[in-house]
């Protein structure tokens, strides 16, 4: 790889104006110098700007732990103070690894113990209070059930809408591509998605539809809030990723310019003739061989 290209890529990530005259002069002075691709890839993948740092899983995990350690410390103090005489509850809370869940459990347990203590001290008419509470709990339970069913219906409808939009946008995208075969759009779409999804799984990534922007995005599987960055620490769109996968699998038609390059690189084939010297048309045979090779690849 050219050292000039590497420095230009790093400058872009640092938001440096690469059109600046002095910078262009500096780049020009190193245009003949080459650097190993492995070293270039290592530098690009391990140097972060603000945006890529935000989307890095390890960095996010590190700072999340720092933030939650303070919460854990304070929570432990409260637990030891309020639940000093209830070892079982303390052990249950300390056994929960997730800080948010531990806070939720602690609040619920403290509430339960407070209610139990209040009843044990004989405050109020336990019989009437229990009956009234039973009626309240029933009403709340019925309300929550109806609310849950309604929210599920809304969620299902929303999913149907997103699925329909996603399907339509994919069809529009794939219909704009020129495939290297004569299959119908439905068949090409099915084959293409199989290849693309396989590549996404191998990269630890997934495609999601952003309702706000109306675009497909590639996110990390292990944390969907983070964007996917390739081996060189570059963000890519779903369309670019898809075209790259289809090109690697030889599913897209070669452009005229690329075809010209391939034609120049390959030696001219001699025309085949029969014993009488008449030219034999082998185009159908050649096409079948090419398709078979393409399918195996």
Please, which residues have CB within 8 angstroms of residue 228's CB and are 6 or more apart in sequence?
Answer: 203, 204, 205, 218, 219, 220, 235, 236
pTM of the model as a whole: 0.47
Looking at residue 192, what is its pLDDT? 92
Please, which residues have CB within 8 angstroms of residue 39's CB and are 6 or more apart in sequence?
Answer: none
Q: pLDDT under 70 in the chain at which residues?
A: 48, 67-68, 82-83, 114, 116-129, 132, 135, 143, 150, 255-297
Looking at residue 190, what is its pLDDT? 92
**Gyration radius of the chain's alpha carbons:** 32
Please, which residues have CB within 8 angstroms of residue 262's CB and are 6 or more apart in sequence?
Answer: 254
Looking at residue 286, what is its pLDDT? 55
Domain ranges of the chain: 3-47, 61-158, 177-248
Looking at residue 149, what is its pLDDT? 78
Instruction: Write out the two tokens for 124.
Output: 């109020």
Distances (CA, A) of 211 to 205, 208, 214, 240: 19, 9, 5, 20
Q: Which helix (H) or strand (E) holds 238?
A: helix 238-248
Looking at residue 6, what is its pLDDT? 79
Looking at residue 81, what is its pLDDT? 73
Looking at residue 200, what is its pLDDT? 94
Looking at residue 198, what is its pLDDT? 95
Looking at residue 58, what is its pLDDT? 76
Instruction: Write out the two tokens for 288.
Output: 């079948």
Looking at residue 247, what is its pLDDT? 93
Query: Tell me: the pLDDT tens digits for 256-269?
Result: 445 444 444 444 34
Distances (CA, A) of 187 to 248, 257, 287: 18, 27, 20
Distances (CA, A) of 242 to 145, 169, 250: 43, 14, 12
Looking at residue 51, what is its pLDDT? 72
Task: Give dist(CA 163, CA 166) in Å, integer.
Answer: 5
């Amino acid at each position: 790889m050219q050292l000039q290209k590497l420095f230009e890529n790093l400058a872009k990530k640092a938001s440096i104006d690469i059109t600046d005259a002095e910078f262009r002069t500096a780049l020009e002075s190193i245009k003949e110098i080459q650097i190993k691709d492995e070293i270039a890839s290592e530098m690009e993948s391990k140097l972060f700007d603000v945006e890529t740092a935000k989307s890095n899983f390890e960095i996010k995990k590190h700072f999340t732990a720092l933030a939650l350690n303070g919460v854990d410390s304070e929570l432990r103090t409260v637990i030891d103070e309020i639940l000093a005489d209830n070892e079982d509850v303390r052990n249950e809370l300390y056994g929960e690894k997730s800080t948010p869940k531990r806070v939720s459990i602690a609040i619920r347990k403290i509430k339960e113990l407070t209610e139990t203590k209040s009843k044990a001290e004989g405050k109020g008419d336990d019989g009437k209070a229990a009956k009234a509470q039973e009626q309240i709990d029933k009403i709340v339970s019925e309300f929550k059930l109806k609310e849950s069913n309604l929210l599920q219906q809304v969620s299902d409808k929303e999913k149907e809408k997103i699925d329909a939009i996603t399907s339509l946008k994919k069809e529009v995208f794939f219909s704009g591509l020129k495939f290297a075969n004569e299959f119908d759009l439905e068949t090409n779409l099915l084959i293409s998605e199989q290849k693309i999804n396989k590549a996404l799984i191998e990269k630890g990534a997934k495609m999601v539809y952003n309702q706000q922007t109306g675009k497909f995005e590639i996110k990390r599987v292990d944390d969907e809030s983070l964007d996917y960055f390739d081996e060189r620490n570059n963000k890519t769109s779903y369309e670019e990723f898809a075209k790259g996968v289809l090109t690697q699998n030889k599913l897209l038609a070669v452009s005229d310019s690329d075809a010209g390059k391939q034609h120049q690189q390959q030696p001219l084939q001699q025309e085949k003739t029969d014993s009488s010297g008449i030219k034999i048309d082998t185009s159908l045979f050649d096409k079948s061989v090419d398709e078979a090779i393409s399918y195996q690849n």
